[in-house]
Chains A and B, each alone.
Chain A
Amino acid sequence: MQASRVQPALNSDNNIDKQLCLVVKQAAAESTPLRLQGGDTKAFYGRASEGQPLDLRGHNGVVSYEPSELVVTARAGTLLVDLESDLADQGQMLGFEPPHFGDGATLGGAIACGFSGPRRPYAGSARDFVLGARIINGHGELLRFGGQVMKNVAGYDISRLTVGAMGTLGVIVEVSVKVLPIPAREATVRFSMPAAQAIGQMNEWAGQPIPISATCYHDGTLDVRVSGSAKGVDAAIIKLDGELIDEGAAFWHGVKEHRHSFFADDQSQWRISVPQATPPLPLDGEWLIEWGGGQRWLKTDAPTDVIRKQVEAAGGHATLFRGGDRSGEVFHSLPSGLFNLHRNLKNAFDPQRIFNPGRLYRDL
């Protein structure tokens, strides 16, 4: 069994933790807003938010990693690229395949944004893989929730609550995530078909026991990745019966990191999240469809309220992902009852509103 790699300098009561708690306590006492940042690779995301930058990059390193336990615990400032390389050395990976959007991307940033990549509908999202976290709340207290085991129902699931909260509930200091073995083999097959047919097809396949691990549709072309044991992937290729392509790994990397040609221009981009089998939406523009239809990217001239109305009618929500007016509500607005719960929660964690104020919603 591989030995765990513990960096003793980074244990729970180290000085960096204490310093961070002090910084937060002081900011709370003075009501100074803080802008939490790792590699600042996701500055484009969320609403514009002012605050004294709190750089978390110094807070890095793998705290413990036991491949046979399928769990890694790392400091929030750990570079994703370093973490993924450590995991790959042991034949493992982050199952939610987080996009980096830059070399400096950190684990804490990926978790705070709740970003997941192409594997998400088939393996699970960032929050699905989070097992525990240490956070600093708005009182400057270091708190530990969840843990390093797969099953844990002691106390409210605060570690998963921090995923996608855009840093508005606390400083994520350390995260434990479940990891997965890297599949023995992956292959990509390509098809030509119109969008409506592609959406139907992806969902029909997802209802069958085929080891699909990613799907992407753009401009008449549907790409499907299958992952698993060598024999399992061979059988899936025969079953799907598409054109086997060689550059699969590069293609999926491009989709994940938004280096696909769709994302190349400066036009603002919407992220549309709808039930997977939803037929193509009647919104003009250019579409790229992922996640079996569950995540759709849109470049359009349509006004915000028209987009939101259409998407809401389909049972989904629309995020102004990149570009556009960052001072408006970039995330889909919430019904008042639900928003009240959000405001109460923000108040329960960060009563002075010092963490990334307004980054998620104007009034949070």
Chain B
Amino acid sequence: MARTAEQAQADNGRRALGRALRQWLSDDAVLDQTEQLRPYECDGLSAYRRLPLVVALPDTVEQVQAVMRYCASQRIPVVARGAGTGLSGGALPLENGVLLSLAKFNRILDIDVLNRTARVQPGVRNLAISEAVSGSGFYYAPDPSSQIACSIGGNVAENAGGLHCLKYGLTVHNILKLQVVTVEGDLVTIGADSLDAPGYDLLALMTGSEGMLGIIVEITVRLLPKPVSAKLIMASFDDIEQAGNAVGNIIATGIIPGGLEMMDNLATRATEDFVHAGYDIDAAAILFCELDGTPEEVDDDIARVKKVLEQSGCTDMRIAKDEQERQLFWSGRKAAFPAAGRLSPDYYCIDGTIPRKKIGYVLTRIAEMGQEYGLRIANVFHAGDGNLHPLILYDGNQPGELERTEELGGKILELSVEVGGTITGEHGVGVEKINQMCVQFDKSELTQFHALKAAFDPNNLLNPGKAVPTLSRCAEFGAMHVHKGELKFPDLERF
């Protein structure tokens, strides 16, 4: 087959860059053959694929610094990648850039039991931290559904959440210190081993910055003592709005549950087929409420929550009788994504957050939109913090179905903004939601984001094109900034 001039040029570029990086990296730590690059062409958002110019797999901080210095001097963009489980395309490579994999940074460096911290490399898996400290009675709290595979570095880059955020916080609440390599290859310490650090809160700024401000090469996380007691109530509702109201009613009693999750009927049926947890498949929605703490606190709280659920109109209620049953009840919720995969050849996961009081309204609107687009939607969500994950079921082999799905997903995110929420609760903007950023933020806000990025990365080499859209992109998308259902500003410039 005849190779195009373009391909030949790309191959030459690959080889030249590969040679340059081998000054600091071993032969097998630089991938520059097309077939070697394939596994890196996408992250967890597989609808977007692109081959990087070269993949670099450093295993020391000095090597990361050397790669960054070289790329900065040559103005070569760099995309950092952890485990590649991200759902917004944050680690989607650039054709003209280096994909910097931190997979070899997989060591837990230090566990300080008395200070309740662990110093870890970015490629360490989220769950591996909890496993390593479990024997001492501790765990690392943020637990995204992908925790078995996702890396802590990626968690910091995306400010990952999970099932227990309402009580225990997001990644930003559970880390103390970062070692970061800047775009110029300098190593800086952000945060501290103490509870606070002098100067601006760059730790908060780095968290969730999607690889746009620096390369994270070490993380100090906080560890929490494992609760001695945890009990799970599972309640059925024959009306989804009532289930939504029950969430608010529980919070109003002054209890912050360790976990508060909801699934609609389609999601419940799918997961029941998958894990056989004994879910009520006739319920319009089921609510999971976990209470944890000392046995005394949990007993107090269980009694109060039971009463609230009854008053909120639940049709059935079950309390997991032992630890095994508690795990079984949770297993379905945690397996909701793969279960959805059995309902349909493909599914697309959405990640908006809304004020809890809008749950009923938003779910009704989502169902209507699904009908308009002729697509089924299963809903699982972190009800306690209003973080929705509608799963749009589609078939990628049907022409046009992916495009319809993406359009519907975009509409759902715009609806989230309209009711006072946000386009992403925990998955990040990446490439996926970049157009919806034009809906959530106005021109001067986006300009401020770009100025902030330039403070760290003046030549726009770190993960360029992600997370924050250019003003011209927004003009092309034609989005109008909508805020909390306010009418569109008549004087707003179209940009």
Contacts and interface: CB of A to CB of B under 8 A. Distances in A.
A204 B114 CA distance: 7
A282 interface: no
B208 interface: yes
Interface string A272-294: 01111100000000000001001
B424 A337 contact: no
Contacts of B137: 207-208
A257 interface: no
A277 B204 CA distance: 24
Contact of A317 (B182, B198, B382, B456): B198
A148 B420 CA distance: 8
B116 A207 contact: yes
A102 interface: no
B188 A338 contact: yes
Contact of A231 (B158, B188, B212, B296): B296
A358 interface: no
A344 interface: yes
A147 B195 contact: no
Interface string A326-352: 000001111101110110110111000
Contacts of A248: none
A158 interface: yes
Given A151-B170, A154-B423, A294-B194, A341 B455 contact: yes
B201 A161 contact: yes
Interface stretch (A31-39, A49-57, A178-186, A217-225): A178-186
A209 B190 contact: no
B254 interface: yes
A161 to B, nearest CB: 5
Interface stretch (A62-70, A75-83, A190-198, A299-307): A62-70
Contact of A228 (B113, B297, B385): B297
Nearest to A166: B200
Contacts of A67: 252
Interface string B201-241: 11011011100110000000000011110000000000000
A335 B455 CA distance: 17
Interface string B446-480: 00110111111000000000011000000000000
Contact of B254 (A182, A235, A317, A344): A182
Name which of A114, A145, A345 has the most chain B CB atoms within 10 A of its CB: A345
A66 B355 contact: yes
A68 B248 contact: yes
B172 interface: yes
A345 B448 CA distance: 11
A206 interface: yes
B357 A273 contact: no
Name which of A137, A149, A181 has the most chain B CB atoms within 10 A of its CB: A149
Interface in B158-207: 158-159, 161, 165-166, 169-170, 172-173, 182, 186-190, 192-202, 204-205, 207
Contacts of B294: 209-211, 228, 232, 235-236
B448 A137 contact: yes
Name which of A150, A163, A208 has the most chain B CB atoms within 10 A of its CB: A150
B192 A316 contact: yes
B451 A151 contact: no
A229 B301 CA distance: 8
A335 B205 contact: no
B228 A337 contact: no
B421 interface: yes
Contact of B355 (A124, A127, A148, A232): A148
B390 to A, nearest CB: 15
B93 to A, nearest CB: 21
Given A154-B429, A155-B441, A149 B422 contact: yes
B464 to A, nearest CB: 15
Contact of B195 (A121, A153, A347): A121
B445 interface: yes
B353 interface: yes
Interface residues of A, number: 91
B81 interface: no
A341 B441 contact: no
B129 interface: no
Given A70-B251, A160-B205, A203-B115, A273 B195 contact: yes
A141 interface: yes
B200 A161 contact: yes
A332 B200 CA distance: 12
Name which of B117, B204, B467 has the most chain A CB atoms within 10 A of its CB: B204
A229 B425 contact: no
A235 B296 contact: yes
A152 interface: yes
Interface string B263-284: 0000000000000000000000
Contact of B114 (A160, A236, A277, A339): A277
Contacts of B423: 154
Interface string B360-403: 00000000000000000000001011110000000000000000
Interface string A227-239: 0111110111000
Contacts of A165: 200-201
Contact of B200 (A2, A137, A345): A345
Nearest to B443: A141
A165 to B, nearest CB: 6
Contacts of A155: 429, 437, 440-441, 445, 449, 467-468
Contacts of A319: 198
B116 A154 contact: no
A207 B114 contact: yes
A150 B296 contact: no
Contacts of A158: 205, 448-449, 452
A156 B195 CA distance: 22
A151 B429 contact: no
A250 interface: no
A295 B195 contact: yes
B300 interface: yes
A361 B198 CA distance: 10
Contacts of B11: none
Given A203-B115, A317-B197, A232 B170 contact: no
A294 B448 CA distance: 34
Contact of A181 (B170, B201, B254, B355): B254
A147 B420 contact: yes
B172 to A, nearest CB: 7
B117 to A, nearest CB: 8
A144 B484 CA distance: 12
B445 A234 contact: no
Given A141-B448, A207-B138, 4 more contacts: A153-B427, A211-B293, A277-B115, A334-B199
30 contacts: A1-B245, A1-B248, A68-B248, A68-B251, A69-B355, A69-B356, A121-B195, A149-B354, A153-B158, A153-B428, A154-B433, A154-B440, A155-B445, A155-B449, A157-B209, A158-B205, A158-B448, A169-B200, A181-B254, A207-B113, A208-B137, A209-B294, A211-B294, A229-B297, A229-B300, A235-B295, A317-B192, A319-B198, A338-B189, A345-B452
Interface of B: 112-117, 136-138, 158-159, 161, 165-166, 169-170, 172-173, 182, 186-190, 192-202, 204-205, 207-209, 212-213, 225-228, 245, 248-249, 251-252, 254-256, 293-297, 299-301, 353-357, 382, 384-387, 420-429, 433, 437, 440-441, 444-445, 448-449, 451-456, 467-468, 483, 486
